[in-house]
Structures are given as C-alpha cells and as structure tokens.
Amino acid sequence: MTRRIALGIAALAAVGLLWIGGETHYRACVEAAEAANPVQVMKSASILDPGQVVVGKGARRRAVDGCSRLPF
C-alpha cells in the first residue's frame, strides 16, 4: 500500500517537473521571438488619419505562434 502511494507521488512529481520544464521552454521561446521582432508605434503619414500605426505585429505573432511547450 505504501509502495503504491510512493509511486503515485513520484509519478505526480515527474509530471510536475515536465510541466514546469515545458512552461520554462515556452516562455524562453516567446521572449526570444519578442526580442527578435520588435513592435514599433509610428505616427501615421496620412493627413486624413493622423493617428498611430503599429508596425511589426504580424511578424511577432508568427514568431510566437511557432513556439511550443515541447522542447523537441
């Protein structure tokens, strides 16, 4: 009985460590993608729409979408 409990706890610990490793890998990938693809806010060149234009969101989104929680 105590052996089953110990094996259950060991299995939960292993799953927890794998989960933490996957999340750490994913966060590092997202940070690298964001650093490599900066988003810039620029003033609009249009006289009719003097607001702001965000440049680079698509490239950053594609780079972040390529990240996975699996390290392989």
CA distance 6 to 20: 21
- In this predicted model, what pLDDT tens digit does every residue of 5-63 receive, in sequence order? 999 999 999 999 999 999 999 999 999 999 998 888 887 776 666 677 777 888 889 99
pTM of the full structure: 0.71
Evaluate whether 43 touches 53 at the Cβ level (below 8 Å): yes
Where do the domains of the chain lie? 2-65
Please report the pLDDT score of residue 72 as a whole number: 67
Rg of the chain taking only CA atoms, in angstroms: 22
CA torsion, points 13, 14, 20, 23, in degrees to nearest 10? -140
Please report the pLDDT score of residue 58 as a whole number: 86
Please report the pLDDT score of residue 2 as a whole number: 94
